[in-house]
Amino acid sequence: MEHFEEDLVEALKEIVRDGNWQCVGDKYNFQAPCTKLYSEDGEHLVLVHTEDDKFWAMDSSCPHEGGPLELGDIEDLGDGRMALICPWHQFDFCLDTGASSTGLQNQVYNVRVVQGKVYVNSQNELSLSPFPEANSIVVDQLYIANGNKQSSENSLCYWATKILCTPDPEEKVTLTLEVQRKWNSGEIPDVGGATPPAQPSRKENLTVLEPGKIKRGKGGTLASRVALLHSLANIEQWAIDLSWDVIARFSDTRLTTGAALPRQFFSDFVKVAGDEAKHYHLLEKRITELGSYFGALPVHNGLWQSASDTAHDLLARLAIVHMVHEARGLDVHPQTLSRFAAQGDAKSVEALEVIYSDEITHVAAGLRWFTYVCGEEGRECVPTFHELVKLHFKGYLKPPFNTEGRKTAGMTEEWYVPLVKPSS
């Protein structure tokens, strides 16, 4: 009889294997609404846990444009059926069929809970962690490794990634300011970890052109002032995303000493994100007062190229985005301000002055953390900066420089003058 029971157990195990049922973990590990499951073939899944204690699974990549469904919300379709909503374009996917009201269809997978363990029926091996060839880290799941059953909504990186996937700029601003408040008050207690999108989401009706084809205007007419404000608002929208991206992308960074980045690093860039959100709101409001709206003119995504080029290196990101591009914003401020002042546009001047004061602190933040990392790793700061700029920035730095503004931010001439093209 004992031999018969052993044979039965082995037979049942073989049936489970042949049926492609895989145990992905204990049920208590999946308290979050959505958890990404990594698949060995790269077609990852999202495991959904609804409030009625049911589990569902479907492909985690939206069939529309690849949006991360693991960052989506769960909503009632109104007929008792639940759907997962893509965070990029709000496409709905029914949890039990994968069908969308848009006509799209997503792949769904059977899920079972047996004796406290969750099983998913999939032909490919599944894991809570990326397979060896993957470079990303786990997003939107519980922190199981250290036994802390804290939901992903309590992590800063969860919200950073959610904001990056929010296409509407006004929603992006609102969410940024709310997350800043919650982080500062302690309602969001942990940094966490996340895989940010390759590029932030943008509204579909936004016309995007190459940077060189954008007409910014000189500020001499109402139309050109609107064009210039529109261009600045576009920059601020990207600046919001750049701040959240540096938080999420480098959340797991370890210095050569093995130390993690201090909590203050993340607090500083939460503040930067909040400032950029405030700047976008000021500019968008002014554009509306002048009879236009954001999106009425084409925009470019040139700033994000620098983010992509430095996605692998925190020091490079700080150097190029926060110590080159943001410092350049200080350089052009006096001329930009004078154009609006010459036309008697006092309200625009007031908004630009607020932005300028904040941007000085942003350059200072980039410089502070660049210096910190170099110091911790035993690098010489200025030579390292020069090396990274030559490696990742196309061409030389060009005067005129706002020497006073840069100096206020802590960036003395030794940082940037050697990067100017030598006179022939």
Give the pTM: 0.65
pLDDT of residue 214: 53
Q: How far apart are CA 69 and CA 107, in angstroms?
A: 12
User: What is the DSSP code string of 24-62?
Assistant: EEEGGG--SSEEEEEETTS--EEEEE-TTS-EEEEESB-
Backbone angles phi, psi at 306, to 5 degrees: -65, -35
Q: Which fold has domain 2-127?
A: Rieske Iron-sulfur Protein (2.102.10)
pLDDT at 286 over 80: yes
pLDDT of residue 138: 34
Q: How far is CA 171 from the centre of its chain?
A: 14
What lies within 8 Å, CB to CB, of 384 at 6+ separation is: 315, 374
pLDDT at 366 over 50: yes
Instruction: Summarize pLDDT for 299-330 with one digit per residue, the tens.
Output: 887 778 889 999 999 999 999 999 999 999 99
* In the chain, domain spans: 2-127, 155-419
pLDDT (mean) for 251-271? 96
Going by their DSSP bridges, the two strands 34-39 and 82-85 should be labelled as unpaired
How sure is the predictor about 66, in pLDDT bands with cuts at 50, 70 and 90?
low
pLDDT (mean) for 359-379? 97
Q: How far apart are CA 84 and CA 76, in angstroms?
A: 9
Instruction: Summarize pLDDT for 138-165 with one digit per residue, the tens.
Output: 333 333 233 333 336 789 999 999 999 9
pLDDT of residue 150: 35
Dihedral in degrees, nearest 10, Cα atoms 246, 248, 249, 254: 100
pLDDT of residue 351: 96
Higher pLDDT, 226 or 104: 226
How sure is the predictor about 256, in pLDDT bands with cuts at 50, 70 and 90?
very high
pLDDT at 370 over 80: yes
pLDDT (mean) for 34-45? 86
Report the mean per-residue pLDDT for the chain.
Answer: 86
Q: How far apart are CA 293 and CA 288, in angstroms?
A: 5
pLDDT at 135 over 50: no
Instruction: Summarize pLDDT for 85-99 with one digit per residue, the tens.
Output: 887 667 789 999 998
Q: How far apart are CA 166 and CA 202, in angstroms?
A: 7
Cβ count near 303 (within 10 Å): 17
pLDDT at 408 over 90: yes
pLDDT of residue 261: 96
